[in-house]
Structure 1
Amino acid sequence: MAIVLLAVILALTLSHAVPALAHLRQFGWFDAYLSGRFNPFFNANAWSGPFGSVFSLGVPVLLCGLVQWLVQDWGWGLPEFLFSVLVLFWCWGPRDLDQDVDHLMHAGSREERTAALQLLPEEPPSPSLPLECQTIVDQVFLAALRRWFGVLFWFLLMGPIGALLYRLAKTASERAMPRASLGQAHAQGMDKVVALLDWPAAQLMTFGLALAADFDAAINAWREFHISNRQGWFVAGSGFMLAAARASVDAEDEALRAEDETLERKSTLLSLQEAMALVWRVLILWLAILALLVLAGWIS
Structure 2
Amino acid sequence: MKLLALILAYLISHTIKKPDKLRDFTWYKNWARWFEKSSGIKSPELNVILTVAIPVTVIYFILSLLFGSVLGVLLVSVLILFYVIGPHSLKEDAESGEIHKRLGLRKNTKVSTLIKTMTEVSMHRWFGVFFWYVVLGVAGALIYRLSERLDFYTENDNELKSTTTRLMKVLNFPAAWMMVISLAIASDFERIFKKCKPYMSFENIKSMDDSFLYEATDFAVEICEIEPDEQKNVELVTLSVLKRMLVVWLVVVSIQVILAI
Name the TM-score, length of structure 2 as normaliser. 0.88
Cα offset for 1:79? 1.9
Partner of 1:179: 154
Cα offsets for 1:29-83 (capped at 9, x unmatched) = 10111121xx4x63334266233112211111111231244246x3x32222211
Structure 1 residues 51-60 or 147-156, which shifts more?
51-60
1:160 and 2:132 aligned: no
Partner of 2:148: 170
Structure 1 or 2: more helix by fraction: 2
Aligned-partner Cα distance in 2 for 1:179–1:139 = 20
Report the AA paired with residue 295 of structure 1: I
Aligned-partner Cα distance in 1 for 2:243–2:259 = 24
Aligned-partner Cα distance in 2 for 1:200–1:293 = 18
Question: Unaligned regions of 5+ residues in structure 1, if any?
Answer: 108-112, 252-262
Contact 2:144-2:171 at 8 Å conserved across structures: yes
Cα offset for 1:225? 4.1
Aligned-partner Cα distance in 1 for 2:20–2:210 = 26
SS in 1 for 2:181: helix
- Pairs within 5 Å for 1:115-194: 116-120=99-103, 124=104, 128=106, 130-174=108-152, 178-180=153-155, 184-194=158-168
1:238 and 2:210 aligned: yes
Number of residue pairs the alignment of both structures matches:
257
Report the AA paired with residue 245 of structure 1: T
Partner of 1:255: none
Query: Computing the radius of gyration over CA atoms, which structure comes out larger, 1 or 2?
Result: 1
Name the TM-score, length of structure 1 as normaliser. 0.77
Question: Alpha carbons of 1:84 and 1:22: their partners in 2 closer, same or farther (altered >3 Å)?
Answer: farther
Matched-pair identity in %: 24
Cα offset for 1:237? 4.5
Contact 1:91-1:167 at 8 Å conserved across structures: yes
Contact 2:45-2:163 at 8 Å conserved across structures: yes
2:29 to 19, 28, 31: 31
Report the AA paired with residue 159 of structure 1: G
Aligned-partner Cα distance in 2 for 1:43–1:292 = 47
Question: Unaligned regions of 5+ residues in structure 2, if any?
Answer: 224-228
Instruction: Report the aligned-residue RMSD.
Output: 2.6
Aligned-partner Cα distance in 2 for 1:35–1:233 = 32
Partner of 1:248: 220
Cα offset for 1:23? 4.6
Partner of 1:196: 170
Contact 2:95-2:236 at 8 Å conserved across structures: no
1:276 and 2:259 aligned: no
Question: Alpha carbons of 1:26 and 1:186: their partners in 2 closer, same or farther (altered >3 Å)?
Answer: same
Contact 2:48-2:164 at 8 Å conserved across structures: yes
Aligned-partner Cα distance in 2 for 1:247–1:22 = 35
Partner of 1:110: none
Report the AA paired with residue 127 of structure 2: F
